[in-house]
Structures are given as structure tokens and as C-alpha cells.
Amino acid sequence: MTFEEYVGSRGPALIRLARLLTGDEHRAEDLTQEVLARAYLRWRKIAGLDRPDVYVRRMLVNANASWWRRRSNQELATDTFADRPLPGRLDEAAVERDELWRLILGLPDRQRAVLVLRYYEDLDDSTIAQILDCSPVTVRTHAMRALAHLRERVGAPMTHGSRP
């Protein structure tokens, strides 16, 4: 698979993942571009891996976890001066969803990453552990803490059906 083929097939998914990790479309695009530029330089090796997508997603998660990746524009192409729109403000009917989204964004980086990888990417704990470079037990611990925090804040009942 060439680099261009990979970006063509997986680029949109990476952007969407980055949107959820960063909470900011502008930064999501910068982050994804930065990670892909780095992946381009070592593409021959990445493409030879069993699961290149796991590797690239790990790069994305780690890049976002860095404070100054989230809060600086390390890569400044001249054409990135152009402003890109973000989704509009939420209307009144979506206040509850807005509140939940804010709570998710407020979670520690790795807890938020676990939720995104589990719920949005629908990955199993073993794959999430590979991406986060930790054990599946640690993944479950992050998930439990994140869910407990969300339940407490949104007032959801302490039902036990959630994946631990």
C-alpha cells in the first residue's frame, strides 16, 4: 500500500479520530497533517508492519497527549493561515449533549482516548492497549474511571451494564 493509498482510505477516519481527541477541528487537521508528514518519512517501514493503522493511530494519540502539540502550531505551512470553520454553536435542544461533550473533553487525555477508541472506533481492549502502549487492564481502569466520572456528573444512574 502506498502512502497516498493509505491516506486516501484512512485519512478521513484519522481526521475524525483527531477531532474527538482534540475537540477542535482546526487543531485536528493540524495534528493529523503533522502525524502523516512524519509517517510519510518512514512509510516504507510502517507499511511493512502487520497493522500499520495501529501504529499511525498510536502516533496520533501520543501527539495529542503532548501539551505543546495540543497548544502550539509546530507545523506552519503558509497556506494554513487560511481559517477553517468549526461546527456552529449548539442550539438549546442540544444542551444535554453539549454538557456531555464538555465533560468528555475535560477527561484526562488517556481516559478520553480510551472512550474514543472504544466507543467511536469500536476497538477491543487489546487493540486499544496496543495503541496506548499499556496493558488491557490499564485500558479497563481508564474506562472505569472515565465512566464513573461521567455518571457522577451527568446524573446517570449507576447501572452496571456499561462495559467496564
For residues 76-135, which are near another protein according to CB under 8 A? 76-79, 81, 83-89, 97, 100-102, 104-106, 115-116, 119-120, 132-134
CB of 20 to another protein, least distance (A): 5
Asked whether position 68 contacts another protein by CB under 8 A, the answer is yes
Q: Which residues of 56-84 are buried (b: 16+ CB within 10 A; e: fewer)?
A: bbebbbbbbbeeebbeeeeeeeeeeeeee
Does 141 help bind another protein (rule: CB under 8 A)?
no
SS3 for 58-75 is: HHHHHHHHCHHHHCCCCC
Of positions 44, 91, 92, 161, contacts another protein by CB under 8 A: 161
The cell numbers describing 135, all together, are 496493558
Least CB distance to another protein at residue 91 (A): 13
